[in-house]
Structure 1
Amino acid sequence: MSKPSLLRRIFSRFWAGLTWFRLALSNILFLVFLVLIYVLYFSGGQQPLPEKAALLLNLGGTVVEEKSRTNPLQALLGEPAPTEREIVLRDVLDAIHHAAKDPMITALVMELDYLVSSGISKNMEIAEAITAFKASGKPVVAVGDYFTQDQYLLASQADEIILSPMGAVPLEGFASYRNHFREALEKALISMHVFHAGKQKSMAEPFLRDDMSAEEKAITARWLADLWGRYTALVEERRQLSPGAVDAYVDNYHVLLAAAAGDSARLALEQGLVDRLLARPDANDYLIQLVGAEDEGGFYEAVFFEGYIARTRPSSFTQVSGDRVAVVTAEGNIMSGDQPPGAIGGDSLSRLLRQTSEQEGVKAIVLRVNTGGGSVLASERIRHALARVRAQGIPVVVSMGSLAASGGYYIAAEADQIWATPATLTGSIGVFMAFPTFEQLLDRAGIYTDGVGTTSLAGSLRFDRPLNPQVAASLASTVNFTYEGFLDIVVAGRELEREQVVKAAEGRVWSASDARRLGLVDELGSLRDAIAAAATLGGLGERYQVEYVQEPLSPREMLLQQLASRVGAAASPWPGLSAGLQGLVRPLASVARSLAEMNDPAHLYMRCLSCSALP
């Protein structure tokens, strides 16, 4: 038998080596996967907690009702910038409430330097939890180098505020400013066709005007004043300042700062906004004495709130059983179809509500709504799903977050009860349709559109042709019909006279207190208050369980979510950009995202555009 040729022997050895390398690589990847599973689910979870420690609210990121879908690449890259992180409000509240009863926790410390945004509504719910924590007799301290307006509202809830000697508290008040595109559209030779119902044109103004109308300014000023009044009242009460002290500080800041020789930290101390000026090492020494414990690195002993609540809360694999209240979250813009967390899908949320209502032991449902609206068809699908839940005999209570306007109010009107936080914005009962045509721009470029159709309407909705007057009349009729239907839903759901609803509608945005006065909401209170009300409606008494329901995750999604929770990752459209660059492009991305989210098949929307500047 002859020996194989040299070329064949070389090829055989090469193939054998390649096979060995492939198997080795597969085994290595499998081992890495096993290590990753161990790290995510088992490592670090059983390390003993210290005997004494502070609960540390290191809120670095944006506080949300529900986290957006995890970006796998960002999760693998590691710890994101604060502008990319999301912090779930419930995690913060549960950690504070649990720590109040935990003998290991001796104090609550807030380090808020990297808190990007939380909003007055969420801040007020956290403030309520901090007040309950104080009732345990444990001290609360806020430490910071520089307190933004959002950060300071939380810091003011502390017994003591420590500021860096080089820091500042630059309060400025609330404002609502929007871009207006009429002239830009005209210069770009774009014809924007807008149809709306109701006297107020706030939904259409950005396309039809170069400025905010006097009527819209009056409406916006009213709800801004309500929110700012709540902000200043809460700060003045907690800091024991005289009424009007915050406004005086803001309005005369330049004069007061000049009198303090430009020392903004000393000014904050003199005005009673902070209690101590300490550099971080000195603040750490002070906190060691306050907490009563020091770690191996020489810092005051503390447990991060996210790790703390992960240990104290039942595992996500634990099924809640027995009679209970189910809480479903609806946060983001309302869109057609199935949507991931961070957006509200007409199909996905409706399915989740149906599945929840069919679970044994669910006696009531709380729908936490935080949205400025969106697709009309998706909103109607969700409203219909809520109606079917109520038809099964299961009461539904809506808890409004920071915002429950337009389409958000449309779905809320179906509930047995509506609760709003004191800082909620709601209403905006209106409908609009807007789309551009580019015939002028194409004419300028020497591009003309011509042809024939079988009817007078054929080809009427092309972007390169002027809008057909017959189509315009039809669209206007559709918008008016949808608006009248919106009014009917509110009249029936809220059991109000039609005249009352008409006065409260026409696209107006209302503060929570005004909405309650008008009958648009029943009570003012937190999510916990709404859950208690739902338990009463469901006949559960004072002792009941609460289940927070989410769309079931696939094994892959569960792995990514666990990985993200370990590194704190959140979805980011530009994971490679610095926080500063992201801040520059964020307004453009917001516009692009808004356009992408307008996916209603009929191009009809119930959406509060003026709420985009919500404080």
Structure 2
Amino acid sequence: MKRALIGILAGLGALVAVSLLVLVVVSLIVVRQDPLPERVILEVDLRKPLVETSPTDPLLLALEGRKTRVRDVVEGLHRAAADDRVEGLLVRGGDGVGGWAITEEVRNAVLHFRESGKPAWYHADSFGEVVPAQGAVYLASAFERVTIHPSADVGLAPLVLEMPFLRGALDSLGIDPRFQARHEYKDAVHLFTESGFTEESREALLAVLETLEGRLVEGLVEGRGLGAEAAREAVRGGPWSAAEGLEMGLVDELAYESGVRDALREATEDAEFASLALYRDRTRGTWERGSRVALVYANGAIQRGEGGGFDPLGGGASMGGDAVARHVREAAERPGVEAILLRVDSPGGSWIGSDQIRHEVERAREAGIPVVVSMGNAAASGGYVISLDADRIVAQPTTLTGSIGVAGGKLVVRDFMARWGIDWDQVSLGEEEPGGFATTTGDFTPEEWERFGEQMDRVYDDFVDHVARGRGMERDEAEAVSRGRVWTGADALELGLVDRMGGFPEALEEIRELLELDVDEPLRVTVFPAEPGLLEILLSEDFRGGIRAGDGSLLEGVVRGLRVLQGLGELGRDGMISPGAVRTAPVEVPGS
């Protein structure tokens, strides 16, 4: 019966796979039949969050599809600015594009497009809908004209940082959180050990909020012509109705999308709309010729090994120290590659995994291959470890970085287990009964706790030493900007932790300088390793292995979809239990 059931499921899986293959082939044929109009209004849909990379897991790809990538939008807008066929830009938005630093990156690309003198319009269905959307309002302030649905909202509100604290729940369950951190600002384990923000965490996070609000106010002043005080009142006094937003100067017109499209076509003398995907598919990009630059992505929480599993604290995918280190090493060794652009968006994770990647960055530089880091929303803790040895570091003003510190420990669950009638016993080769360090349930002995602290000190000292050497600081200077504190990119620039503000374009400018090229010299940016297409994924051994009969692979593939359970099961691995946990707390920034 079991074999028959597996056979039936395998047959269904094969049928689904074949159907997907047919759909892919048909879609490719259909897309290639669409010509690019001679005169174009570029249309970009930013109503869903952007991503750094597309998923390569076939199940995830089938469920989520391919989302628009940050670099596609940025490179597409730069390409369109110089293209005489493109006569205007219409962006549809209203919700956050995936974080404050990504918002900055797209906003800068819009400002670059506007320098061409072409009309750039933004239409919002609504700036949030019963939820704040400060990031979308900030992005819209870069456009020449902003319109909004007549009955919509302008979701401005005071900026808030929030995170959950589990200490009370753990106490009620009889679970004892036993963690150490280096030092007072390192709040990654406060999720378990505290019932609210500590004074030091509150100090650091308030500084982050001030930077975010400052950027938003500055955008409204420069883009919408508001006075500084009026802009700050607009941000803190919302939410507003569309009509109130019009009266305050936050938008230019209340209009339906169809009317906006008609008006823009009239303004461009009947140019035709073309999607970003169609435009990029039909034109040759500015990042597709010239000296070859390998673009290596380092996204997600850092684990040892190959990574790719679920990150229970951050809620997204992880990266593996082995995998990213190998990508950097192979890119540096690939004939024809002249420089590496390392795109980092990570809250940190395993110290070992982080140091593996950092070491390969160091080796690439020693081999004569320049390495430039471009930071996304976050490059903090372990995310900063992998960045600090690059030739240049480029970050956005709102990037969260630094968090130079370490935390680790475990949850002591013996009393919790006892409440449910679960007893634990031990067999040991030691002379005495082992303490909690060697067990999954017991507490540390005083000697073990002291020894554990020594391990924490060693990792922290290594981290600060790497910062001092990589950034050309004295040891005491590196210590002063460490102690686990999170900094914004703007603060990090003043402190010497990064070299420049910006995103992809600015990082490529740094690469041109390092390669001694002209400022307008084209570069061929190649993702390394190459991102597989959907057809390639469907034909891969990993996917085909999931529909074989008789070995349980199909059922295993279904189980892989339960990533939350997998992640919770690995909570003690690399991220929390080991003394080498270098990551930031899972703080959420609404409206970004």
**What TM-score comes out, normalization by structure 2 length?**
0.84
**Which deviates more from structure 2 when the two are superposed, residues 489-498 or residues 117-126?**
117-126
CA distance in 1, matches of 2:450, 2:191: 22
Unaligned runs of 5+ in 2: 1-11, 128-132, 310-316, 541-557
Cα deviation for residue 280 of structure 1 reads: 3.5
Cα deviation for residue 70 of structure 1 reads: 4.4
CA distance in 2, matches of 1:54, 1:87: 18
CA distance in 1, matches of 2:586, 2:18: 52
Q: Which of 596, 604, 607 is the aligned partner of 2:580?
A: 604
Find the residue that maps to 1:609 and give its secondary structure: coil
Question: CA 1:253 to 1:438, structure 2 compared with 1: closer, same or farther past 3 Å?
Answer: closer
Aligned to 1:558: 536
Instruction: Supply the AA of the counterpart residue of 2:298.
Output: A
Cα deviation for residue 610 of structure 1 reads: 5.0
Cα deviation for residue 359 of structure 1 reads: 1.8
Cα deviation for residue 194 of structure 1 reads: 0.3
Cα deviation for residue 591 of structure 1 reads: 8.1
Q: Which of 409, 422, 426 is the aligned partner of 2:401?
A: 426
Cα deviation for residue 326 of structure 1 reads: 2.4
Cα deviation for residue 442 of structure 1 reads: 2.7
The answer on whether the counterparts of 2:294 and 2:525 sit within 8 Å (CA) in structure 1 is yes
Aligned to 1:330: 298
Aligned to 1:396: 371
Aligned to 2:84: 103
CA distance in 1, matches of 2:22, 2:232: 56
The answer on whether the counterparts of 2:149 and 2:256 sit within 8 Å (CA) in structure 1 is yes
Find the residue that maps to 2:232 and give its secondary structure: helix
Aligned to 2:462: 485
2:527 matches 1:546: no
Cα deviation for residue 225 of structure 1 reads: 0.3
Question: CA 1:348 to 1:173, structure 2 compared with 1: closer, same or farther past 3 Å?
Answer: same
Question: CA 1:223 to 1:246, structure 2 compared with 1: closer, same or farther past 3 Å?
Answer: same
Aligned to 1:504: 481
Aligned to 2:506: 529
CA distance in 1, matches of 2:229, 2:88: 31
Find the residue that maps to 2:50 and give its secondary structure: strand
Instruction: Supply the AA of the counterpart residue of 2:72.
Output: D
| Cα distance per residue 1:269-307 (max 9 Å; x no partner) | 11001111123343343233124338xxxxxx3111122
The answer on whether the counterparts of 1:364 and 1:535 sit within 8 Å (CA) in structure 2 is no
The answer on whether the counterparts of 2:409 and 2:578 sit within 8 Å (CA) in structure 1 is no
Find the residue that maps to 2:68 and give its secondary structure: strand
Question: CA 1:170 to 1:44, structure 2 compared with 1: closer, same or farther past 3 Å?
Answer: closer
Identity of aligned residues (%): 31
Aligned to 2:115: 135
CA distance in 2, matches of 1:557, 1:376: 36
Question: CA 1:516 to 1:37, structure 2 compared with 1: closer, same or farther past 3 Å?
Answer: closer
- Equivalence map 1:266-281=2 (5 Å): 266-281=243-258
- Equivalence map 1:309-458=2 (5 Å): 309-313=280-284, 323-340=291-308, 343-455=318-430, 456=432, 458=434
Aligned to 2:232: 247
Aligned to 1:203: 188
Cα deviation for residue 377 of structure 1 reads: 0.9
- Equivalence map 1:1-12=2 (5 Å): none
Instruction: Supply the AA of the counterpart residue of 1:55.
Output: L
Find the residue that maps to 2:228 and give its secondary structure: coil
Unaligned runs of 5+ in 1: 1-24, 258-263, 295-300, 563-575, 577-584
**Which deviates more from structure 2 when the two are superposed, residues 336-345 or residues 243-252?**
336-345
Cα deviation for residue 334 of structure 1 reads: 1.0
Aligned to 2:259: 282
Cα deviation for residue 349 of structure 1 reads: 0.8
Question: CA 1:160 to 1:314, structure 2 compared with 1: closer, same or farther past 3 Å?
Answer: closer
Q: Which of 430, 437, 462 is the aligned partner of 2:439?
A: 462
CA distance in 2, matches of 1:160, 1:210: 46
The answer on whether the counterparts of 1:70 and 1:561 sit within 8 Å (CA) in structure 2 is no
Instruction: Supply the AA of the counterpart residue of 1:202.
Output: D
CA distance in 1, matches of 2:318, 2:194: 30
Question: CA 1:544 to 1:187, structure 2 compared with 1: closer, same or farther past 3 Å?
Answer: same
Find the residue that maps to 1:150 and give its secondary structure: helix
CA distance in 2, matches of 1:374, 1:593: 16
Q: Which of 268, 273, 276 is the aligned partner of 1:305?
A: 276
CA distance in 1, matches of 2:306, 2:425: 39
**Which deviates more from structure 2 when the two are superposed, residues 329-338 or residues 268-277?**
329-338
Q: Which of 182, 195, 198 is the aligned partner of 1:213?
A: 198
The answer on whether the counterparts of 1:61 and 1:85 sit within 8 Å (CA) in structure 2 is no
Cα deviation for residue 119 of structure 1 reads: 1.9
Aligned to 2:154: 169
**Which deviates more from structure 2 when the two are superposed, residues 89-98 or residues 443-452?**
443-452
Instruction: Supply the AA of the counterpart residue of 1:607.
Output: R
CA distance in 1, matches of 2:163, 2:195: 10
- Equivalence map 1:570-609=2 (5 Å): 592=568, 595=571, 598=574, 602=578, 604-609=580-585
2:120 matches 1:145: no
Aligned-residue CA RMSD in angstroms?
A: 3.3
Cα deviation for residue 559 of structure 1 reads: 4.5
Instruction: Supply the AA of the counterpart residue of 1:417.
Output: R
CA distance in 1, matches of 2:573, 2:51: 19
The answer on whether the counterparts of 2:182 and 2:406 sit within 8 Å (CA) in structure 1 is yes
CA distance in 2, matches of 1:613, 1:249: 19
Question: CA 1:510 to 1:30, structure 2 compared with 1: closer, same or farther past 3 Å?
Answer: closer
Find the residue that maps to 2:342 and give its secondary structure: strand
* Number of residues of Structure 1 aligned to a counterpart in Structure 2: 544
Instruction: Supply the AA of the counterpart residue of 1:526.
Output: G
CA distance in 1, matches of 2:473, 2:306: 33
Find the residue that maps to 2:386 and give its secondary structure: helix
Aligned to 2:550: none
Question: CA 1:416 to 1:250, structure 2 compared with 1: closer, same or farther past 3 Å?
Answer: closer
Find the residue that maps to 1:234 and give its secondary structure: helix
**What TM-score comes out, normalization by structure 1 length?**
0.81
Find the residue that maps to 2:477 and give its secondary structure: helix
CA distance in 2, matches of 1:138, 1:393: 41
| Cα distance per residue 1:93-125 (max 9 Å; x no partner) | 121112222233221001114x45322211222
Cα deviation for residue 226 of structure 1 reads: 0.9
2:102 matches 1:122: yes
| Cα distance per residue 1:50-92 (max 9 Å; x no partner) | 23331111124211222222444763x7xx5xxx863201110
Instruction: Supply the AA of the counterpart residue of 1:94.
Output: E
Question: CA 1:439 to 1:40, structure 2 compared with 1: closer, same or farther past 3 Å?
Answer: same
